[in-house]
Structure 1
Amino acid sequence: MSEGQGNPRKPTIRTVAELAGVSLKTVSRVINNEPSVLASTRARVLQAIADLDYEPDPSARNLRSASAYVIGLVYDNPNPYHIIGIQNGVLSACRETGFGLQIHPCDATSPLLAEELAELVQRSRLAGLVLTAPMSERVDLLQALAARGIRTTRIIAAAEDPGEGPPCVFVDDRDAAYEITEHLVQLGHQRIGFLWGGEDHRSSTERYLGYEQALKDYGITLDKHLVIPGDYTFDDGFRGARRLLALREPPTAIFGSNDEIAAGVLAAAKSAGMNVPYDLSIAGFEDSPFSRQSWPALTTAKQATEDIARHAARMLIAGLRHDGEGAAAVPNHGFVPQLVVRGSTAPVRPRAQAQGDTA
């Protein structure tokens, strides 16, 4: 048995150079898409890369090159399903373009966050950052990073293109929340509870504004007792629902700002012996696994989290490749989550009928 048989070594840039009959520098130039390589030589190197199934190491390429080929993803969010979707989307864009990815969780409220991120970029030689909420919505942070020459692309909640600041992907949560509330109203619900997500996330405000506007447009007076503050967590959904259901005149429907909150509402309703959706209709937001794995499955707004994150990473990388002209070359892009109606919502039952069923 030859050396290494049964445990083949991963091909290296030297292996590619030997197979193609060129220097290491020439292989490096081909990998980095430098123009100073003859077409025939480039073709020979690319064929060797394909034959060996060679994948360049972005971190090693960073060290050898004057350009950076790794970007960073910065997040602070209590919802694990949302973060996984964001990570998968950015990672797929990096794989498509030959970039590496460094993931950096942080505390969005830290007063030293700009210094922390600047140190991260310098230490890891990052080409730029994809910022998620709420960092992406902190004007002071964006300005501090721009002053340090750090390229960023943002994912934000906004009803329309902000038209200023760093490049962004904006998600119209307000319109989607309006559609969810409208769906509940059209089912006959007049008392609709609303459970906030984190107030430091603009998405929570946008979803509340959609809820508020739908009630106004349908002539329903907003009852502040039906609006409960909280965070994007199952526990806050459970606690918020218990508060709403304890009211003298409880809601007939509850809209949670995300699916994790809505799943908490569902648990609270079941613990109180309620029949969902006939005693209480429940809606969430984002179309996470929480919405599909619950019973009954949750009515929600499908937010294409992976697509949103993939587009943000592509915008950043395209901007980097335009040598500083990315903001002009890659326009901001918007997404609108779509209503998905499932078994957790149903027409409201008259209170007398509901009481008669449980007598």
Structure 2
Amino acid sequence: MKVTIHDVAKYAGVSIKTVSRVTNNEPSVKQATVDKVNEAIRALNYQPNQSARSLAGTKSYVIGFVYDNPNAYYVIDMQNGILSACREQGYELLIHPCDAAQEGICDKLVALVNQARLAGLVLTPPLSEDPAVLNALDAIDVNYVRIIAGAEADGQSGLSVLVDDRTGAVNITEHLLALGHTRIAFLTGEMSHQSTLERLAGYQQAMSARGVQIPEHYIVEGKYSFESGVNGAKQLLALEQRPTAIVACNDEIAAGVLVAARLDGVEVPTQLSIVGFEDSPFSRQTWPKLTTVHQPNSEIARVATQVLIATRQQQKAPKSTVFVPEAIIRESSDKVPPINKI
């Protein structure tokens, strides 16, 4: 027989309403009573029905993860982080991939919130950076938290978790400069993503601080994909004065650069150093392993969800939190060969 809320109330010696208040994380219940009910829940292995909880009252206990990102590793990390925070607080997770450029995307997200009776949304780029999307969600007064690139809040409404991509890009470019590289190129992701702009700005900032001029053709626009890395690297390696190092906007792009270099007979890292960004499994599955920038996506998503739930439950939570990615040095970067020094 399935354990019900009545069984938990009887075991704990409290009312059904008290059990409901505890499972809903209402702050007005005495700690001794909370402990007693939680002990009963553990003893009976009681599993609250989140859909029933949402329908039975005015509150919903379902968090929506809305994303438009082709990187499966990024999506899985985000999903795991959100799910971890949801389980801690007794919430369920609804996953909703979408096309951020689709006509009527704002109306579709509003319909999703209303039809699924969502407690809140975790938004990732580019949706989290789209003022039209944010205005539409504000109009229906739904809770949401934005994961965005930058070191400071951008003035938009809502909660935010910031990822300081610019500092991460500065650090990884400085690593190459310290190895003696000056001919350092950059392969971008989509320019519609703020993360691309921040990472590009960090690369440019580090180069400028060392007084290194960047040839216009050393910055190649592309996409956050393996194929884009292959194509961008081919373009750079065909130059008369080709770069001795390439900064890729993410690890998928960097893996593509590595393959293009190998096809062109260019040895990594003795003839070409390659660095990526995000520290995804791509960076550890290549040979040589990629020097990259560690971005703790699961932890970022977990913290974002915790802040969202805490705010919804009227608990104190920070308006914004900043994560600073860290450089991870591996085998794909090395000192510039003496013949290539300028």
- TM-score per shorter chain, which class? over 0.9
Give the partner amino acid of 1:71. Answer: I
Q: Aligned with 2:142: secondary structure?
A: coil
1:306 to 277, 298, 309: 298
Cα separation, 1, equivalents of 2:321 and 2:191: 24
State whether structure 2 residue 171 is matched by structure 1 residue 217: no
Cα separation, 2, equivalents of 1:203 and 1:38: 45
Offset of residue 30 of structure 1: 3.4
State whether structure 2 residue 142 is matched by structure 1 residue 150: yes
State whether structure 2 residue 53 is matched by structure 1 residue 65: no
Cα separation, 1, equivalents of 2:91 and 2:35: 21
**Structure 1 residues 203 and 58: CA distance shift in structure 2, 3 A:** same
Q: Percent of aligned pairs with the same residue? A: 52
Deviates more, 1:211-220 or 1:281-290: 211-220
> Once the two structures are superposed, what CA deviation does each residue of 1:69-119 show, in whole Å capped at 9, x if it has no partner?
111111001111111111111111111111111111111112312211111
TM-score, normalising length from structure 2? 0.93
- Name the structure 1 match of 2:251: 259
Q: Is the 8 A contact 1:130 1:153 kept in 2?
A: yes
Q: Is the 8 A contact 1:174 1:208 kept in 2?
A: yes
Cα separation, 2, equivalents of 1:218 and 1:41: 62
Deviates more, 1:35-44 or 1:201-210: 35-44
State whether structure 2 residue 89 is matched by structure 1 residue 97: yes
Which sections of structure 2, spanning at least 5 residues, go unmatched?
Answer: none
Q: Aligned with 2:114: secondary structure?
A: helix
Deviates more, 1:105-114 or 1:9-18: 9-18
**Structure 1 residues 256 and 24: CA distance shift in structure 2, 3 A:** same
Cα separation, 1, equivalents of 2:203 and 2:27: 54
**Structure 1 residues 36 and 349: CA distance shift in structure 2, 3 A:** closer
Offset of residue 17 of structure 1: 4.2
- Name the structure 2 match of 1:195: 187
Cα separation, 2, equivalents of 1:125 and 1:112: 20
State whether structure 2 residue 322 is matched by structure 1 residue 334: yes
- Name the structure 2 match of 1:244: 236
- Name the structure 2 match of 1:316: 308
Answer with 1 or 2: which has the greater Rg: 1
- Name the structure 2 match of 1:344: 332
Aligned residues: 341
> Once the two structures are superposed, what CA deviation does each residue of 1:29-76 show, in whole Å capped at 9, x if it has no partner?
332245787887765543321111212122221111221111111100
User: Equivalent residues in 2 for 1:1-359 (5 A)?
Assistant: 10-17=2-9, 19-20=11-12, 24-34=16-26, 44-322=36-314, 329-351=317-339
Give the partner amino acid of 2:238. Answer: A
Cα separation, 2, equivalents of 1:281 and 1:41: 60
Give the partner amino acid of 2:66. Answer: V
Give the partner amino acid of 1:349. Answer: P
> Once the two structures are superposed, what CA deviation does each residue of 1:286-342 show, in whole Å capped at 9, x if it has no partner?
11111111111111111111111111111111110118xx7xx42311011001111
Give the partner amino acid of 1:350. Answer: P
Offset of residue 18 of structure 1: 5.0
Q: Is the 8 A contact 1:318 1:330 kept in 2?
A: no
Q: Is the 8 A contact 1:161 1:334 kept in 2?
A: no
Cα separation, 1, equivalents of 2:318 and 2:59: 20
Q: Is the 8 A contact 2:23 2:90 kept in 1?
A: no
Q: Is the 8 A contact 1:130 1:312 kept in 2?
A: yes
Q: Aligned with 1:334: secondary structure?
A: strand
Q: Is the 8 A contact 2:236 2:242 kept in 1?
A: yes
Q: Is the 8 A contact 2:244 2:340 kept in 1?
A: no
**Structure 1 residues 337 and 39: CA distance shift in structure 2, 3 A:** closer
Give the partner amino acid of 1:259. Answer: D
**Structure 1 residues 185 and 57: CA distance shift in structure 2, 3 A:** same
Deviates more, 1:51-60 or 1:129-138: 51-60
Q: Is the 8 A contact 1:188 1:347 kept in 2?
A: yes
TM-score, normalising length from structure 1? 0.89
Q: Aligned with 1:87: secondary structure?
A: helix
> Once the two structures are superposed, what CA deviation does each residue of 1:251-301 show, in whole Å capped at 9, x if it has no partner?
111111001110111111111222110011000001111111111111111
Cα separation, 1, equivalents of 2:306 and 2:31: 27
Give the partner amino acid of 1:279. Answer: Q
Give the partner amino acid of 1:334. Answer: V
**Structure 1 residues 277 and 213: CA distance shift in structure 2, 3 A:** same
**Structure 1 residues 71 and 269: CA distance shift in structure 2, 3 A:** same
Offset of residue 121 of structure 1: 0.9
Cα separation, 1, equivalents of 2:128 and 2:31: 42
Which sections of structure 1, spanning at least 5 residues, go unmatched?
Answer: 1-8, 354-359
Q: Aligned with 1:72: secondary structure?
A: strand
Give the partner amino acid of 2:220. Answer: I
